[in-house]
Amino acid sequence: MSNKLESGESVQNAESGDVSAPHIGDSLVGWGVAATTASKVSTAGPKLSVREIQDVVSALRTAADEAVDHVQRITQLEAAAGLRNSPVLVVDRATWSKATIESFKFMLTPTLRRLWDAKGHTMSPASTAVSAAVSGTELGVITGFLSANVLGQFDPFAGRHGRLLLVAPNIVTIERELMVEPSDFRLWVCLHEQTHRVQFAAAPWLQGYLQENITQLTAGMLDSQDALADRLKNAAKVASEAFKGRKSGGDSEELPSQSTLMSAIQTPEERAILSHVTAVMSLLEGHANVVMDAIDASIVPSVKTIRRRFDDRGRNRSSLENFVRRLLGLDAKMRQYRDGQIFVEYAVKELGMSGFNVVWEGPENLPTEHELHHPQEWVERMRSGQVGPGNQAGQGDLASQGDLAGQGGAGPAETVDADADAGAHAPQTDATSGN
């Protein structure tokens, strides 16, 4: 069955210049083609009656709301207290794809505009149109493919405070496949996504920090319009091969390096920025894992069963995460993501949760890539009050930009409403990691 979802206006509002303010550089990628392609590629979810759809939507909203207080208690972050400042959207797969494409547009717009300003005079209208269509098609195929695997996602690059997306069809599919208690599984999914939401609320500068670093990285790698099309084409091929490999029991983590954007990194400055981004992503996921490990039966009665059955599925990370990491080349450093949890566990053991939480106060308190592997050095630095040596480069005045740079300054993009048909299409918290 297929109930029609409501769509809201696009929210992205990039850097100091709005994506909503037209710029000819925006035409370097066929964003409309991407959205249309993704919608066609996205498959329908489980068959549900109208009443069942309404019940799922209501239950997911309730679970998302309930998760807030649990996350606040575990993290001891005041920013989490009563945190309900960003929309919770229950969406279908096609809508999740559209929302994800909007996020990619937001992240890449500054780079594409710089590329046009620098080399637009050398681009012919015909070749530009062809490359844009190719890029849009590849991106649409990728996001459409991924849309069936995502359970939920916190998108920090949408609206002033980000938005939480819960993909109803996928959540229903996985809870049925695992044969677990639906209410427990839905709360479990929401707890992970709310943790990421809290991280960005506790560190309002983090959105801008990531956006600036991503812009600097991609600026050096996407030095031509064809470069992006080639990267997306390779990433799409890799994603498809990885999926086939996973289904046949192969190792989906072994990917050719030429498929990534990061394979173009050459300069020490670019490597330093990649190091910062890797450390931050490791920290965020490691912290979320520590929070999830603190979830016991008093919060989610059947949590042990859920963990065991979910882990047995052999998917420990979301498909979206996998794609983004492959696209950026971060898959080469997957060990560091595991080290992120070890880092957080050690820091909390030494400093207590409140002591660890200084990490959210500013970019100078972020662990460097080296400290990620040597958490005792970060702990010692925090105790001595020293500024981090590796996290000052490439920041500009990000700390003062607060939550402006990393979001669209406009309101949140309500791409879909939660009353959407869970059986039609649904976006993501991924079926691979429950987050």
- State the total domains in the chain: 1
Q: Which residue has 């083609």 as its token pair?
A: 33
Is residue 380 assigned to a domain? yes
**CA nearest neighbour of 369 among 269, 277, 257:** 277
432 close to 28: Cβ distance less than 8 angstroms: no
Residue type, 339: D
Is residue 247 assigned to a domain? yes
- Predicted confidence at residue 319, as pLDDT, reads 60
Give one DSSP letter per residue of 329-370, joined into a string.
Answer: TGGGGHHHHHHHHHHHHHHHHHHHHHHHGGGGS-GGGSPPHH
Is residue 373 assigned to a domain? yes
Low pLDDT (below 70) residues in the chain: 1-26, 220-229, 231-266, 314-337, 387-435
Is residue 407 assigned to a domain? no
Is residue 424 assigned to a domain? no
Domain span at residue 174 reads: 24-401
Is residue 61 assigned to a domain? yes
- Predicted confidence at residue 123, as pLDDT, reads 77
- Predicted confidence at residue 4, as pLDDT, reads 36
Q: Which residue has 């707890």 as its token pair?
A: 191
Is residue 9 assigned to a domain? no
Is residue 413 assigned to a domain? no
